[in-house]
Amino acid sequence: MLATPSDRLRSADLSVWLEGWDGRSAPAQVVEGIAGLGLEDVGRAGDRWVQVECPPQLLRHTHALLAFARLARHRAHEGWIAIGLPCTPPGMAAAAQLLRRGISVGIGPISTPATWNVVAECFTRALEERRARNLAIDDVSCVAWVPVGLVDEHSDRCLPSGSPLHGTAGIAVAQLLYLLAFQTFTGPRWAQLTADGAHPVRLGWSRLAAERRAAYISRLTLPGSVIALGHPWAAEFDGHRLQAAEADETEARWTSEELVRSGVPLAEILAHVEAAAA
């Protein structure tokens, strides 16, 4: 019997992260991690997973980058921490440097298969290098952030008022990337890494609009992924009622085709979303 994406990626169940934290209060009963922190807020995040954003001026300077990562780890009291990087050539080069040294990263924005493949290959090569040097790979992680709400925002502007396609582009893109991730991490290359405890890149859903919370929650609670909620939305969120979603490739592809037929330049929107990080 073939494994399904849910079976394959269930090694790390859905995580709920807080996005846009103000550095003060956080709903501890729901939030497992906090994304987008500045260095000054790391110490107030408690024992949660945190992603600290790297200052862009450090990306091209290896020694400064590593010093920043060490400082972030220290301020997190050696807790779970990832360094947030832009999905640009300098950002990917920085990611490779950190991953090879066993430091976890969060990378974004990602909205196209081509960019996903770049991130997945960067992560895989770094783990293979560590494995070849007999270094641990079971505690090195990567989250690839997909700005679902931003894709919807651009797409909706191209649709007439009242169109049933409003709010569907981001979910379609997310589900297709999720299925691509499943394909990426099957096969003998990753089987060897998995045997040594490695975990696949996790896809994270960000920039979610609060007014569409029901749709996002019902369609994006995909096993192994990370869903980032805005600050007061997270406080109202009941994580105990989560139902695992399944990615529907047929529906996602149909939605994408309908959007294009309706005049939405989806490919251009996705390229624009990624270019905004440059």
Q: Long-range contacts of range 220-223, CB-CB < 8 Å, 24 or more positions apart?
A: 220/148, 220/171, 220/174, 220/245, 221/14, 221/245, 222/5, 222/6, 222/9, 222/14, 222/174, 222/175, 222/178, 222/246, 222/247, 223/5, 223/6, 223/9, 223/10, 223/13, 223/14
| Distance separating alpha carbons of residues 67 and 84, to the nearest angstrom | 15
**Tens-place pLDDT, residues 205-246:** 999 887 777 778 788 989 899 988 876 666 666 666 667 888
Strands 81-86 and 104-108: parallel
**What is the pLDDT at residue 255?**
97
**Tens-place pLDDT, residues 44-90:** 777 778 899 999 999 989 899 999 999 998 888 766 899 999 999 99
| Distance separating alpha carbons of residues 44 and 23, to the nearest angstrom | 7
**Tens-place pLDDT, residues 96-154:** 999 999 999 999 999 999 999 999 999 999 999 999 999 999 999 999 999 999 999 99
Q: Is 259 helix (H, G, I), strand (E, B) or coil?
A: helix
What is the DSSP secondary structure assignment for residue 274, as one 8-state letter?
Answer: H
The pTM assigned to this predicted structure is 0.91
Domain range enclosing 61: 5-275
Cβ(62)–Cβ(92) below 8 Å: no
Q: What is the share, in percent, of the chain residues with pLDDT greater than 70?
A: 87
**What is the pLDDT at residue 155?**
97
CA angle 169, 237, 175 (to 5 degrees): 25
With 0-12 CB in 10 A as exposed, 13-18 as middle and 19+ as buried, what is 240? Answer: exposed
Calculate the alpha carbon distances from 206 to 24, 199, 227 in Å: 21, 21, 7
**What is the pLDDT at residue 35?**
86
Q: What are the structure tokens assigned to 114, written together?
A: 């081509």
Provide mean pLDDT across the span 173-202: 93
DSSP string of 172-189? HHHHHHHHHHHHHT-SHH
Whose CA is closest to 205, among 110, 117, 119?
110
For the domain that residue 112 is a member of, what is the CATH number? 3.20.20.70
Domain count, the chain: 1
Q: Which tops the pLDDT comparison, 40 or 192? A: 192
Q: Is 236 helix (H, G, I), strand (E, B) or coil?
A: helix
